[in-house]
Structure 1
Amino acid sequence: MTRRAVIAGIGHYLPERIVENAEFEATLDTSDEWIRSRSGIERRHFAAEGETTSNMATKAAQNALADAGMTADDIDAIVVATSTADLTFPSAATMVQAQLGMTKGFAFDVQAVCAGFVYALSNANALVASGQADKVLVIGAETFSKIMDWTDRSTCVLFGDGAGALVLEAQEGAGTSDDRGILATDLNSDGRFKDLLYVDGGVSTQNTGHLRMQGNQVFRHAVEKLASTAQTSLERAGLGADDVDWIVPHQANIRIIQGTAKKMGLPMDKVVVTVQDHGNTSAASIPLALSVGKARGQIKQGDLIVTEAIGGGLAWGSVVLRW
């Protein structure tokens, strides 16, 4: 028998404020058509004044716990993927722990920008597989609206805020690709490409900074690296593209999503797409898409899912799991 990390529940949270593309026309040389044609984005959510990453993460976690039929007392660990934590320290995860009323176990953040949730899921899987935890909350949450340069039309129209969460629970499997749960992971990074996507500030520079991106270069790396990491995870699981029921990719740009699916030889009707409604929510985008995909009735128990993401670093990776 093999100890597997199985998804027991999932949930998400989106801020109330919805920002349509047309709202940017008053302050930028842009249009709804320009944004849609280049990104596939139609609208996004922005956090309210005083609404923080940990607040949103907690609400998503509460929804995931309710879906799993659990309470915070059942959880052994919390892993939060974010690049926009409330404070320099403590971690957003410990703040979520407190807001949930969880007084045991441990909590920590993972920072790999848009690839953060894949990194967090891989780390949480290791905690379960090794026996260090039986039930883990894995959360992706971001308030990227706080690091936008509102004069840069090439970036500020692309990002949104939100949170998604899932509960991983240890279950015994047969050790085959038919098992439910996480079957394989693949993580990568290459710091030589830092300047393609970064924030030009931080604690040691005493400057909050804004997001900067070389969009064309990121696109070129994204399609190749996402397809490659997905293939690596599938091979590690002893599976192939023909076995995939759903790709649930990082929701950055519809052209990247389409290009990756094409490179993998899979049709778009096997891809869960939410970028039109959420924009790029960085580490929150995959759990948001998983939660919405389940709510839509697309994702069902037994489905084989590939998630993949790339973000600043560059950092990229993938997870193959059976729902």
Structure 2
Amino acid sequence: MQNSLIRSTGYWVPPNVITNDELVASYNAYATRFNSRHADAIAAGEAEAVPLSSSEFIRNASGIERRHVYEKTGILDIDSMVPRIPPRPVEAVSVQAEFALKSVQIALDKAGYDGSDIDGVIVASSAQQRNFPAVSCEIQEAIGASGFAFDMTMACAAALYGLNLANGLIRSGQAKRILICSPELMTCINVHSRREVHFIFGDASAAMIVEADDGRPGGWDVLGTHTENKWSSALRSDYGFINIAEQSVDPAFAPHLDQDGHKVFKDVVGFAPKVARRMMQQIDLTPNDVRRTWLHQANIRMVDMIAKRILERDRTNENAPSILHEYGNTSSSSVVMNFDMHSDDMAVGETGVMCAFGAGYGVGAAAVRKRA
């Protein structure tokens, strides 16, 4: 059976930045206006007041200080609170494919490849811009790759679900070199008018090239991968193609995006490290064998607790680095970004564990070892 390795990774973030203070000023202006306009209904108990936010609340709840975003003006405009992205003609490259290609080209350049060296493309992200044709097919065409292409979604764990699939396809001989890309335009999904979630997400694109081991030096051996699910709707987004049919019956229907933060925290902190440890047990890897774990960046308290349960030691920025303060939660791209930023200093032969977790609940884990 053919072994697989991660040959290269790459990530790209937009230059536009929104600080906590900027976001709070916009959100509080919206909340104050709403509460003023609906004061009578709120006083009568017919409507709920929109609570105010603060930079301190955001930092304490998440560890986030800034986030990079595709488009800033629309998010901060209290009359829209969504990014302003002009529609494109069908013959133009789509926004999400273009976003993906930013990180794809970086990963290709690092590996010394061009698109013709790729024989499989997986877009693994929280959502795709359209239902069909697959965004992966568009990326495949843009880079001149061959073979198969498909889109998949498993929320914040999607990149590691893609890695698990790529590992299996390569080990079984069905592919030689697979590109996994996670273009996450999460500010288009988020509801910036809801206090519980208005601060969470940023935008980022990440990519991995996974290939069969042909004996060349460099890269990271994939020692093991594992994915598991446990159903929950505590973190949910209902945006989809059925919405227009639902709105034909109820024009006021709004697709749901929300989370029960306390329940998600409790459930995922209990579930995610168990999945990672099961994967480690399958390959006889103990916590003492693991120098570093790269975790999905959901919030800092989850990162602290999940790292400790995987490593059996307190989290430090050395053994489980965090990038939340700068980028926020960038969904499935975050674990690849974290790995890309914090792996060069590891020595040949040292081992690390990736773990990502999110809606579904879906958890993905992978163990990798640096090659000579």
Q: One fold, TM greater than 0.5?
A: yes
1:242 aligns with 2:297: no
Aligned-residue offset at 1:87: 1.2
The residue aligned with 1:53 is: 96
User: Within 5 A, what are the aligned runs for 1:175-186?
Assistant: 180-186=220-226
Aligned-residue offset at 1:201: 3.0
1:224 aligns with 2:270: yes
Indicate conservation of the 8 Å contact 1:115/1:311, yes or no: yes
Deviations 1:62-90 (A, max 9, x none): 10010011110101111111122121212
What's the Cα RMSD here?
1.9
1:258 aligns with 2:281: no
How far apart, CA to CA, are the structure 1 residues paired with 2:230 and 2:308? 24
- SS of residue matched to 1:282: coil
Task: Find 2:207's aligned residue among 165, 175, 178.
Answer: 165
Matched residue pairs, number? Answer: 312
Normalising by structure 1, report the TM-score. 0.91
Indicate conservation of the 8 Å contact 2:7/2:220, yes or no: no
Indicate conservation of the 8 Å contact 2:268/2:361, yes or no: no
Normalising by structure 2, report the TM-score. 0.80
Percent identity between matched residues is 31
Task: Find 2:141's aligned residue among 91, 95, 98.
Answer: 98
One-letter identity of the residue aligned with 2:293: I
* Higher mean C-alpha deviation, range 265-274 or range 10-19: 265-274
Indicate conservation of the 8 Å contact 1:135/1:170, yes or no: yes
Aligned-residue offset at 1:200: 2.9
The residue aligned with 1:280 is: 329
The residue aligned with 1:84 is: 127
The residue aligned with 1:303 is: 350
1:188 aligns with 2:237: no
One-letter identity of the residue aligned with 2:139: V
Distance 1:299 1:18, change over 3 A: farther
Indicate conservation of the 8 Å contact 2:353/2:365, yes or no: yes
Indicate conservation of the 8 Å contact 2:243/2:255, yes or no: no
Indicate conservation of the 8 Å contact 1:200/1:212, yes or no: no
How far apart, CA to CA, are the structure 2 residues paired with 1:45 and 1:84? 18
Indicate conservation of the 8 Å contact 1:147/1:209, yes or no: no
Distance 1:140 1:55, change over 3 A: same
Aligned-residue offset at 1:121: 0.5
Aligned-residue offset at 1:5: 1.3
- SS of residue matched to 2:3: strand
The residue aligned with 2:38 is: none
Aligned-residue offset at 1:272: 2.3
Indicate conservation of the 8 Å contact 1:148/1:211, yes or no: yes
One-letter identity of the residue aligned with 1:202: G
Structure 2 gap segments, 5+ residues each? 29-51, 72-84, 87-93, 248-253
1:141 aligns with 2:183: yes
